[in-house]
Copies of this chain bind each other. A is one copy, B any other.
């Protein structure tokens, strides 16, 4: 119903009072982080954004579409940045295959930049994303897989060249592990923090965090193939 095609120029607002759509997106990002998608009502959301209750359905169509808009706003640019960075590295390397660490950099740096960009969502968004990964709702699952398809495919090719001892199948699994560790780290899920009694001092220093994560992931990716004897997975144990 929102007539987005015949739109007129936006009425030059200052940074504090943006237009309705942005105010809704910001409030949604923050509240979905705090309470989750299902537990956030449009009434509290629109109240926090200072807009009318009907505004969400007018501008986004439905609560679900609002959620997708929250994700797209940050995810599209981030994944594009990842691809651009990877291609830049590949150009700079001129035919030679990149190191594992270099490819990881191309994945982590755009995520780090997003996490740092406080005025544009920052950590809030990454937590929403972390929750979305684990959400069973079909509309979220399909949306995410579409959003990531191209980026993952490009990086898989790059890793395959950098890690010739891995089969494509083995690499797929290791990327799964990488995404798991990365998502938990960036999302900074409170349960894990509590479980592990992570010291809060470091929470603000994402650069240090990724300098811990990168060697871990690189070593895991480079690891030799598994040996059944190492893990004594006998059914009777």
Which A positions have Cβ atoms within 8 angstroms of B?
33-36, 38-39, 101, 104-105, 108-109, 112, 127, 130-137, 140-142, 144-145, 148-149, 152, 156, 169-170, 172-185, 187, 189-199, 207, 209-228, 230-233, 237
Query: Do B185 and A177 have beta carbons less than 8 Å apart?
Result: yes
Whether A180 pairs with B173 at a CB distance below 8 angstroms is no
| CA gap between A110 and B52 in the complex, in Å | 51
Q: How many copies does the complex hold?
A: 2
Q: Which of A35, A38, A195, A224 has the most CB of B within 10 A?
A: A195
Please state if B187 and A134 are interface contacts (CB–CB under 8 Å).
yes
With A136-B131, A144-B194, A184-B179 as contacts: A231 and B219 at CB distance below 8 Å: no
Contact A185 B180, beta carbon cutoff 8 Å:
yes
CA of A202 to CA of B213, assembled, Å: 28
B233 touches A141 (CB 8 A): no
> Across the interface, do B144 and A191 meet the contact criterion of CB distance under 8 Å?
yes
Q: Which residues of B contact A172 (CB under 8 A)?
A: 196-199
Query: Once the chains bind, are B36 and A137 in contact (CB under 8 Å)?
Result: yes
Q: Which residues of B contact A184 (CB under 8 A)?
A: 133, 176-177, 179-181, 183-184
- Are B199 and A226 in contact, CB atoms less than 8 angstroms apart? no
A11–B219 alpha-carbon span in the complex (Å): 56
Chain B residues near A142 (CB, 8 Å)?
A: 194
- Whole-angstrom distance between the Cβ of A90 and the nearest chain B Cβ: 15
- Whether the pair B108, A190 counts as a contact (CB closer than 8 A) is no
Is B220 a contact of A105 with CB atoms below 8 Å? no
A132 and B191 contact, CB distance less than 8 A: yes
What are the 7 tightest A-B residue pairs by CB atom distance, in nearest-first order?
A: A180-B184, A219-B223, A145-B194, A38-B38, A220-B220, A216-B220, A177-B181
Per a CB cutoff under 8 Å, which of B137, B156, B181, B194 touches A180? B181
